[in-house]
Amino acid sequence: MNNRPQVSIVIPLLNEEESLPELYAWIKRVVDANNLSYEVLMIDDGSTDNSWEVITKLSASDSHVKGIKFARNYGKSAALNTGFQACTGEVVITMDADLQDSPDEIVPLYNKIAVEGWDLVSGWKQKRYDPIMKTVPSKFFNAVTSHMSGIHLHDFNCGLKAYKSKLVKTIDVYGEMHRYIPVIAKWAGFRKITELVVQHRARKYGVTKFGLERFVYGFLDLLSIMVVTKFRKRPMHLFGAYGTLSFLIGFGIAFYLLINKVIHSAFLYQPVRDVVDQPLFFLSLTAIIVGVQLFLTGFLGELLANSNRRSDEYIIDEKTF
């Protein structure tokens, strides 16, 4: 007999004591009405209010509720990653605890994974109830991310997402990388990614936990993901390529200066400044030095990658034995 729930609902939270009872009652209403077996994992990311007390009461009164409490605030990525490791459902759905994500979306999201076979479904809050100081930077952020990653989503940062169980057990979410789970999933080999228009509700309790600085950090995180996921196992392809290019540019400039001096002094009998007296010489020297350093960095990266490489780092999709 398979006791595995059909859906795991992972909810990271920070100081959301007012919304939790209402949120869980709503979730229970939806899943019971659709005869879904389920579990709800509430990850308390170091709340300083009574959120944990509310979670323990819910867990004591209903075995479907499971709670995990951090000793301090580690961030949403850490909470999600912990929830992903602890959940057991066939389909994993994440949502925020502030009631801006509607539990009515659970069934459509579940069907996109369980019935249609997608690996990841990201919510798209087409109509948002946020101030313009958040919506405008968010649109720019999403456009840049979509262009750089090649994943055509309108709302990467939407907390309402659904995942195939294998996906969340494969990826590792850390730092502030929760915004880029679709990018991480794509580079891990899960390419069946789509989006679903979902309802966005005005905040009912509490205040937002994120400021505008998240967009600056978000862009830096995107660069980190693009580099780490693509070149983690072959750092020489990144550093070696740019190092070689820089070295060739520097060498080319130096060679030009030398040939120019020879031609003007030996054949045209024209006075010309010494090579080392020209600004271009120092530019070429800098380019050569940078090129050598980048190449050595790539070489050291290859040594580290090979010394730490394990066979279990490669994701096996299926076997015939």
pTM of the model as a whole? 0.74
Q: Does domain 7-231 have CATH number 2.40.10.220?
A: no
The whole-number pLDDT of residue 53 equals 96
Query: Is the pLDDT score of 203 beyond 60?
Result: yes
The whole-number pLDDT of residue 311 equals 47
Strand-pair category, 38-44 with 7-13: parallel
Task: Please tell me which residue, 274 or 13, carries the higher pLDDT value.
Answer: 13
Give the pLDDT confidence of 97-155 residue by residue, as tens digits: 999 999 999 999 999 999 999 999 999 988 776 666 666 777 777 888 888 788 999 98
Closest CA to 119 of 169, 196, 194: 194
Q: Which of these ranges, 146-150, 264-268, 284-288, has the smallest mean pLDDT?
A: 264-268
- Where do the domains of the chain lie? 7-231, 235-313
Look over the chain and give the mean of its residue pLDDT values, rounded to a whole number: 85
Share of the chain above pLDDT 70, in %: 80
Give the pLDDT confidence of 51-105 residue by residue, as tens digits: 999 999 999 999 999 999 999 999 899 999 999 999 999 999 999 999 999 999 9
